[in-house]
Amino acid sequence: MPSIAVVGNSGEGKSTSYGQIPELGIEGLNPKETVIINVGGKDLPFRGWAKLYSGEIPTGGNYFHTSEADKIAMAIKYISETRKEIKNIVIDDGQFIMGFEFMRRAKESGYGKFADIGVNISKVIEASRTARPDLKTYFLWHPEKDNTGKSKMKTVGKMVDDHLTLEGLFTVVLYTKVERGADNKVKYQFVTNNDGEFPAKSPYGMFKDLYVPNDLGLVSKQIDKYNQGE
């Protein structure tokens, strides 16, 4: 049931965060318990991903390539109802659900398409919010700046923003933060609450630290502990 947004630019460790990458110390998500919905159709950035994630969902597979909102919403519902072994769904990258629909309908005049795009992405998020309690859906997303210069989840424009505040549909919104230390090593992190630069959010006490490693395996465990009162 938990829906989690992970917001960050390309190359800041979003997709890496769900891969199992021991050499980087990333626990990631168990492929036997995870379905990837690959919206953009990109290759995933960890070794052996094509073997770990393959096959169609109705036949026991754990990989689905589509950008169509209705199909994604139906897939979430199907997994929730029939694939009880699946504990995680990763939608990578979520903003392309809107972006690709906008491009498919770019020649349409009028504002109706913007309303449709907002409704369609809401269907996907609502499907994740109404799924069974032990099924988490991670929406990987790109950011953009609003007219005040603050970061927000990217949409296809003001017509959608005027009627839909995406962040309000998520209890947990993590932002990526990349720093280079004195040793010149790059540190990839998630911001768990507003740090003055990134408007991340999570329930009070869910995460002990403002910055945590970019590891959805660790994030998932922490969410479970919080929900169970630990």
In the chain the beta strands, taken as DSSP E runs, fall at 3-7, 34-38, 63-64, 88-92, 136-141, 143-145, 151-153, 172-180, 186-191, 211-213
What pLDDT score does 165 carry? 87
User: Is the pLDDT assigned to residue 26 strictly greater than 70?
Assistant: yes
Q: 161-171: per-residue pLDDT in tens?
A: 887 889 999 99
- pLDDT at position 71 is 97
Query: What was the pLDDT predicted at 1?
Result: 64
Residues 79, 35 contacting (CB under 8 angstroms): yes
Whether residue 21 has pLDDT greater than 90: yes
Average pLDDT over every residue of 110-131:
91
Mean pLDDT for the stretch of residues 189-207: 96
